[in-house]
Amino acid sequence: MQNVRIFFIKRDRAKYISHLDMTRLFQRAVRRSGITMWYTEGFHPHLYMTFALPLALGTESNCESVDMRLIDDISFNEVKDRLNAVLPVGIEVIEVSEPVMKASVISSSMYLVRLYGVADKKTAMDAFLAQDEIMAIKKGKAGEKLVNIKNFVYGYEVNADGSDLCLWLKLASGNQNTLNPQLLIGVFSQQHNVSVEGAFLLRTKVLCENGEEFK
């Protein structure tokens, strides 16, 4: 048995698949691929799998990962190819490797956000992100709480690109703190009365405490 970390992208229409539904999706994909993976024991055996990080509905990603335990004696490349042959459009395995880090070391994610047609709001966005305090209601395990989400913004860059506004955001991710970029731009859209619906959001990197990419 071999632990494998399956890195995949989630793009286009696949971004509407919820985290819960991703579990079922991978269960079925593994069955279709014919690869033997390890199942939990007990009364209701199910495919063992753990995702490194949840991804918010509506956000695309280049760097998702899920861990499984491979039973078949086949190469990582074969796992990748056989899964890709049976995954729905928008989900694609880019790499299969041996897990290097524990998911608990993840501390932040990089996001690219494109807000369509609001390039003229660049100054407003700069000012918004420069504030010391951005208060928002966050839903957590213990219910809703008003928090200063600026504490979870670790870095940013704002650029106008044609008529669009592009943001690079480094936001808290992981067990400790997590900030969903949709929440951040939602607060901006409320304060500045601009529509950010249909915005393009892409997670580009998952980073560890020491700044290294999660592997």
Partner 1 sequence: MNLKEKIEKVIMRVQKPARYIGGELNSVVKDKEKIDVRFAFCFPDTYEIGMSHLGIKILYHILNSKENIWCERVFAPWFDMKEEMQKENIPLYALESLDPVSDFDIIGFTLQYELSYTNVLYMLEMAGIPLYSRDRKELKNLVVGGGPCACNPEPVADFFDLFMLGDGEDVIVELCDLYREHKKKGSSKQEFLLDAAKIEGIYVPSFYDVTYNEDNTLKEITPKYEGVPKTVTKRVVKDFDKTPYPDKFVVPFIETVHDRAVLEVLRGCIRGCRFCQAGFIYRPFREKSVETLCRQAKELCANTGYDEISLCSLSTSDHTQIESMLSELTKWSDKEKISLSLPSLRVDNFSKEVLDGISGIRKSGLTFAPEAGTQRLRDVINKNVTLEELHNTCRIAFEGGYTGIKLYFMIGLPTETEEDVKGIIYTAQSVVNLFYDLENRPKGCGVTVTASVATFVPKPHTPFQWEAQDSLETVIHKHDVLKGVGRSKKITLNYHASNTSILEGVFARGDRRIGQAIYEAYKNGSYFDSWSEGFDFEKWQAAFNKCGLDMAFYQGRHRSFDEVLPWDHINYGVSKKFLERECKKAYNAQTTEHCRKSCAGCGANKFAGGACSAEC
The contact set with partner 1 (CB under 8 A) reads 12-14, 16-18, 21, 24-25, 27-32, 34, 45, 57-58, 86-90, 197-198
Spatial distance between the Cα atoms of 113 and 158, rounded to a whole number of angstroms: 10
Query: 171 with 152: CB under 8 angstroms?
Result: yes
Could you tell me if 39 and 1 are in contact, meaning their C-beta atoms sit under 8 angstroms apart?
no
Q: In whole angstroms, how close is the CB of 40 to partner 1 at the nearest point?
A: 13
Looking at residue 211, the DSSP 8-state letter turns out to be S
Nearer to partner 1, 16 or 50 (CB): 16
Structure token pair of residue 16:
């509407």
Alpha carbons 133 and 150: distance in angstroms, whole number: 6
- Hey, is 124 helix, strand or coil? helix
Of the two residues 19 and 102, which places its CB atom closer to partner 1 in the complex?
Answer: 19
List strand residue ranges (DSSP E) for the chain, in order: 2-10, 50-51, 60-70, 91-97, 106-115, 135-140, 143-148, 153-161, 164-172, 200-208
Pick between residue 30 and residue 172 the one whose CB is nearest to partner 1.
30
Q: Is 188 helix (H, G, I), strand (E, B) or coil?
A: helix
Residue whose CB is less far from partner 1, 45 or 155: 45
Shortest spacing between CB 90 and partner 1, in angstroms: 6
Q: Angle at the Cα of 63 (from 145 to 86), degrees rounded to 5?
A: 115
When the beta carbons of 170 and 203 are compared against partner 1, the nearer one is 203
Q: Closer CB to partner 1, residue 57 or residue 112?
A: 57
CA nearest to 64, candidates 5, 116, 115, 123 = 5
